[in-house]
Structure 1
Amino acid sequence: MTHATTHPYSGRARATAVPGVIRTLLPAYAAALECTRELTEPALFEAEGREVADALPARRAEYATVRRVARACLAELGVPPAALVRGADGAPRWPAGTVGSLTHCRGYRAAAVARSRDADGVGIDAEPCAPLPSRVLTGVTSAAERAHLAELGARRPGVPWCRILFSAKEAYYKVWYPATGSWLGFDDAEVVLQPGRDQGEFMVRPVSGGARRARRADAAFDPVATGFPALPGRWAAGAGVVVTAIAAPAGFLPRRAQAGRTATGTLRCAQ
């Protein structure tokens, strides 16, 4: 999905990260880079090192690599290097005036960053290019989505549609959460995928009455009432990885103070 080459990092060190497929999934105003091996330089900021000081080596490596890729993206935008530490909610804190997203799965790391004057939010996600286990599939999709997946599978077999749908929801959440400050369940959003062999488009929209929300403390929360819009995105599948990306242009999302009732919660996966 990517080629080995070098990319300038802040004019001093060099990070092996390339535009690759991730760049084709996002608007021109976003800097997006990916890599398929761990990067060992430049050094992490002290605050970042503390965050993973007690983590297993593999976790430290993916944490460090994805931040090195992110700083290469920031350099493209002319933003000085900064520590990308996690906030209380587990989400990375981006430098003032920027929005961004990180993702990693086995053998793949990527980051996307845009200036907030150009985008209200950016969300990317990478997953293994393989079908979801059946028990996971039923937990992250609605009956309507499963019917949609069956139709897509009949039209274009061999494409991991269920994994693309899952990844699209993850990318949507990475735009949703910074804008609303509220948790979003898999049953609170619905995805429609456009057929394609290696790349395509999708649409994600919030929905009311999620089947599993009734069992949660925030059962009365209505994602639609926040005014958060449906968002289009793009996907790509190949070389063992599924990647999805969403960008919301500046002024497109409701401000947090304008959103409807929010719910408490935390990010599912800390980056």
Structure 2
Amino acid sequence: MTAVPEKVGVIGGGRMGAGIAQVFATAGAEVIVVEGDAGAADAAAERVGTGLRRAAERGKLDTDPAEVLTRVRVGTDPTEFPSDVDLVVEAVPERADLKVEVLAAAESAVSGQTVLATNTSSLSVTELGAGLKDPGRFLGMHFFNPVPPSKLVEVVLAAETSAETRRRVLGWVRGLDKTEVVVRDSPGFATSRLGVLLGLEAIRMLEEGVADAESIDNAMELGYRHPMGPLRSTDLVGLDVRLAIAEYLHGTLGDRFAPPQLLRDKVARGELGRKTGRGFHDWD
């Protein structure tokens, strides 16, 4: 197996950040997860621990979860990253201003050899890196939810990304036993652009009464062998997250990404998918 970084920093300890921390720690890296406050940091540590225990229960982890967890620690500020950290992955919510802020803070805390990455699923990687002093060491590492079992990492090359940064990151992705898809920076990249478009059309079909949610999802799962139907996938990602991505793509790529009213209504009612217990399906 290709080597993984010795030291990894993760900014944001939600579902995605905790999953990223889990896979790097499982592969042998020392990981520090930074959150906004002590309570959120403790919750991030618990998410990583829960993920490791579940992986062990499913026979997907050969090592004692407690042993892996010794390689994970949490903090509340990017200045707590070791200066010689090899990689920092930003996994905060999809707000460009917030991402730019935390990436700048990370860059000021680490050495000039550290690779900086964003886990954004749709925002312009080139624009996110424009404020960095050295955008050549920056790119997108788009992991997929849930991170541990997913085999894909979408590597997004910004306009300034250096060949050396690309080389190092591709080696690390393979070291995680995952497969990379390399794409040029463009709104929605490859995965979000296609996935969101399919999801939005499925929502329109539901809105128009073409079929119920279960039937729409089963049609894609059984007929096209998708592992998860587009409405279940939207529930897993979060309807609020999908709406935000759709609005961004609508503004950059045109009306084919216009969010259906049904999606807006469900988000307004707080029906955000699995995390709230109800979206297009009932998760209770």
TM-based fold match above 0.5: no
Q: Select the structure with the greater relative contact order (CA < 8 A; seq sep ≥ 6).
A: 1
TM-score by length of 1: 0.27
Structure number with the higher strand fraction is: 1
Which TM-score applies when normalising by structure 2? 0.26
Higher helix share: 2
